[in-house]
Amino acid sequence: MSLIQQRQPLSHEEELKYAKLAMEWYGWGSPIGLGILLVALAAAAVLLRIAVYGF
């Protein structure tokens, strides 16, 4: 039997707890947000270098 078949369903309180935790993982603190921020900082650094030193 697989692990999924052995699990008991979550109680209503557990469902609410995990749903709340999942919904809090958004914005700039999420992996997607941090990735976008990193790319934006790298692009800004490249543009600044081009503006100062040229190609």
Domain boundaries, given as residue ranges, for the chain: 28-55
Query: How much of the chain is helix, strand and coil, in % rounded to 5?
Result: 80, 0, 20
pLDDT of residue 2 exceeding 80, the answer is no
Q: What is the mean pLDDT of residues 34-47?
A: 95
CA distance 36 to 52: 24
Residue 23: per-residue pLDDT: 73
Asked whether the beta carbons of 10 and 19 are under 8 A apart, the reply is no
Q: Average pLDDT over the chain, rounded to whole?
A: 84
Q: What is the mean pLDDT of residues 23-50?
A: 87
